[in-house]
A and B are shown apart, each in its own frame.
Chain A
Amino acid sequence: MANPLISVNGLTKSFKTFERREGVLGAFYNLFKREYREVMAVNKISFQIEEGEFIGYIGPNGAGKSTTIKMLTGILAPTSGDIKVAGLIPWKQRSRYVTQIGVVFGQRTQLWWDIAVIESFKLLAKIYEIPEAVFKQRLNRYSEILELDEFLHIPVRKLSLGQRMRCDLTASLLHQPKILFLDEPSIGLDVLAKSRIREFLKYLNETSHTTILLTTHDLDEIEKLCPRIILIDHGKKMYDGKLESLMDRCVLTQKIVMDYKTPTDFVLTPELIEKGLSQYQSLNPYQGEVLFNRNQLSASDAMSILFKQFPIRDVEVQETSIEDVIRDIYEGKLQLPGLEK
């Protein structure tokens, strides 16, 4: 395809924040004079997204995820940089643009608080000028998949969080947007509700080819849904690509835990270190663990080396979870090699 659906170049957003002084005297002083500080919420981020992609947009709290989403949806104007989505500039051509997108904020509903869900949907149908028959057909489709029937006539404020999210999703899809933005859609949901929404999103992406951009803290969700992730921290893009390749690049060492047949005491010899083993630790006389470098050794190679050393009853290669990797990146323990800084 010639033009990507979403194209973001050097996107930057800075805010001024006002610093409150402490104490009663400080509060008095605040009445008359305030001091401001500039904060870079989003710092020169660029990426392209093709039609039909399912992107996980992740980063720790305050990394600039929501700010990016707000700019992508046209609510916020960038300080500098360009955004072009479906040929439109979101914040400049908003009223045309918003008919192309659906947005769900997990933190708050977009439905009318006091009125029945179905009435909210009807109102949206009017606002987006969806013909009656088309609206009915879409509503039936979604309410079947998401099982909305039982609470369509209840006001939004009385719904559970999971029910509300299903309704919010439906509301954002009634006008069949090309792109769906989801900001923490699963926040506060229970396991069952999460997996239901997850399945629905997968289905939507596969059958309707809706492009989806999802921010979440739930990495399990990312792993199950998003072939591609964009990782940001402190407003900067840290990684953009497949989740597996992130793992490949970041997980340099893996751990093997061994159970011995007889009590064993052991020290790593220089040759073994040369081969790629490191940091042997004896857990107890019958158990020990050792790290191997994945660039030098495969897991089976490492095991065959170890089997030669001691009488081993059982071994276990410990998988490093995405959570660990991402957490290490967030905490700065893991430097991503060769990424834009």
Chain B
Amino acid sequence: MVRRAVKYAEYLRISFLTMLAYRARYFVGISTYLIYISVNYFIWKAIFENSPQIGTYTFPQMMSYITIGWISRSFYYNRMETEIAQRVVKGDLALDLLKPVNFQWMQYSRTLGEAIFRLFLFTLPTYLVALIFYPVPLPHHLSTFIFFMAATFNAFMIFTTLNYLIGMFAIPLQNIEGLSYAKSNLMLFFSGLLIPFDFLPGIFKNIMMILPFGGISYIPLQIYLEKLSTSEILFNLSHQIIWVIVLHYLGQMAFRYFTRKLIIQGG
């Protein structure tokens, strides 16, 4: 068990170093999040121009929602599906299959390495810079913050397992650029990042609450804004975890299915 963990930790370390090797990408990354926060800030400011409260949100709440939403995204975001597709196209996937490690867990640990890197080098700096322009109040209770952290980790897991599943389609399709682009566009909305589900008409909101994607932004942000009771928080955290497990197994099944086909056809 420990030895296995060490093995995966090595992937984690390598991905960390790879991220550091590209400095432009790093500075660019931070600016990207600040741009998104800024665009949203001005739009929401204009929206709230004549009304102090819309639905259940005040302007400061809305700003916390957007700012924290984008800042957390800088933590959980990754492009695992593209990386998997690149390995498939280059033929590296065949090499990965020969290694004595589980491909799915290898991808997860690599991504976790990236996420830890992002936490320190994207999320925290972005947060500090954003604080200057868009001051976001901290939650009132420490417990809220801990629950928020847990929910954000789950968000990372949903995002990652979903990306893995999408990445699996590279095995039959090779090019999944369009698919990945479509996914990220849809996710902006379906995760609740662009606009809280509370702005949706009732039935749509209920659908969104059942789907796994709200676990990426909407659920953690509801926790952060202290709009949920403790039992509701626990319910939502388990909702996230159940979807992580489901997506994980879907990814595993997809891997088995597509690689079996690959082996039979000798692709």
A contacts B: CB pair < 8 Å: yes
Q: Is A27 an interface residue (CB 8 A)?
A: yes
The 0/1 profile, CB within 8 Å of B marked 1, for residues 15-32 of chain A is 000001000100110111
| Cα distance A31–B16 in the bound complex, in angstroms | 13
Q: How many A-B residue pairs have CB under 8 A?
A: 16
Q: Is B23 an interface residue (CB 8 A)?
A: yes
Q: Which of B13, B16, B23 contacts A30 (CB 8 A)?
A: B23
| Cα distance A17–B220 in the bound complex, in angstroms | 46
| Cα distance A28–B21 in the bound complex, in angstroms | 9
Number of residues of chain A lying within 8 A (CB) of chain B:
7
Contact present for A24 and B17 (CB under 8 Å): yes
Q: Is B47 an interface residue (CB 8 A)?
A: no
Q: Main SS of chain A's interface residues?
A: helix
Contact present for A27 and B17 (CB under 8 Å): yes
Nearest CB of chain A from residue B260's CB, rounded to whole Å = 26
The 0/1 profile, CB within 8 Å of A marked 1, for residues 101-129 of chain B is 00000000000000000000000000000
Nearest A-chain residue to B23, judged by Cβ = A31
| Cα distance A32–B27 in the bound complex, in angstroms | 11
Nearest A-chain residue to B20, judged by Cβ = A27
Interface centre among A24, A28, A30, A31 (most CB of B within 10 A): A31
| Cα distance A200–B46 in the bound complex, in angstroms | 73
Q: Is B199 an interface residue (CB 8 A)?
A: no
B16 cross-chain contacts in A, Cβ below 8 A = 24
Q: Is B204 an interface residue (CB 8 A)?
A: no
| Cα distance A27–B120 in the bound complex, in angstroms | 14
Nearest CB of chain A from residue B13's CB, rounded to whole Å = 8
Which residues of B in the span 5-38 have a Cβ within 8 Å of any Cβ on A?
13, 16-17, 20-21, 23, 26
| Cα distance A20–B21 in the bound complex, in angstroms | 9
B23 cross-chain contacts in A, Cβ below 8 A = 30-32
Nearest CB of chain B from residue A109's CB, rounded to whole Å = 17
A20 cross-chain contacts in B, Cβ below 8 A = 21
Nearest A-chain residue to B13, judged by Cβ = A24
A-B contact pairs, 16 of them (CB 8 A): A20-B21, A24-B13, A24-B16, A24-B17, A24-B20, A27-B17, A27-B20, A27-B21, A28-B20, A30-B20, A30-B21, A30-B23, A31-B20, A31-B23, A31-B26, A32-B23
With contacts A20-B21, A24-B16, A24-B20 known, what are 5 further pairs, Cβ within 8 A? A28-B20, A30-B21, A31-B20, A31-B26, A32-B23
